[in-house]
Structure 1
Amino acid sequence: MGNSASSSSPSSTSRASEGFEVTLSDNFQQTVLQDFNAKVHAQYMQIKEQQQIHQQANSEQARQNELLQQQKQAAIQQLDKRLDALEADFDQKVKAADGAALTLTQKYVKPEEILGKEAPCADVRSSYASCQKSNPPGACAIYIQALQDCVTKAVAEK
């Protein structure tokens, strides 16, 4: 039947009768087994090393993500503080504009004119007051400008 597989013992009489038999010495078998085990162990160690590299990369990525998250939170807090400061500044400017408008009205409009006639810029002031009550700060800037224009016009007519 041709060549037969390697055998460590001559127990197979049918193969022996064919005239061809290979017997491996115990030392050679041990060497082959050790080589095989060494290759398997090397592959195992290589896989283990790759797993460690991936775990380290994943850990580093997680640390970087955490750092970025902390930086984002710090930036958001800083922006929130800046927004609060801008809103407070805007509110102060609105109050100053209201005070200036009231001062100008008191200075240039006589009480008898207000009582005898419709108050100058009353519609704009009313619109502005309504806007302030129902909107967040900054949403009524157009009314401030309209009120300033109206007061300037009323003063110029006097």
Structure 2
Amino acid sequence: MLLDGDEWRATLRQFRSEAWRLETLPQYLVPQESEEIEAFRAGRRIDPYAYSSPYAENLKRLRGEGRRKGRVHIVTQPLSEYLRFEFSRYYAPHSLAGEDIRVLDVTGRENPLPGVQDFWMFDRTTVVLMHYEEDGTQISRELHEGDPAPFIAYQRIAVAESVPFLEYARE
């Protein structure tokens, strides 16, 4: 079953304890980001300590409710322009707002999750497969109707093999 619009937004909002994402691509083409990417290219940066957005405020609210969001992004060096943008514009302030963002850098080493596609997992029971074109344009979101156990294992491996974003960014 494909998830879109209101169904997708409800899935993102209604988790009980944890929403977690695996990201594997060096670029995601999101039309709403075009102006921000141009500003990044022009050298404009945000101060992650002073940044506020509805997403960051929602992260703080979720933490206060005992719910959490997290993700691991698998990367290789050199980072794509998009990843440098994403790290600066989203990962830094969102980490500070309470999202557990981690980076699994597989440069010069074997990827412990070869062939695993992007997905969201909610409460370790609901998995949504994220489908993209090669250039990072999203095609669809599909509710996985099988056993979530493999995805729980992918999460465990990704978290164990990664480092917190703020630590990675200092290196």
TM-score, structure 1 length as denominator? 0.22
Looking at secondary structure, tell me which structure has more helix per residue.
1
| Larger-gyration structure (1/2) | 1
TM-score, structure 2 length as denominator? 0.21
Looking at secondary structure, tell me which structure has more strand per residue.
2
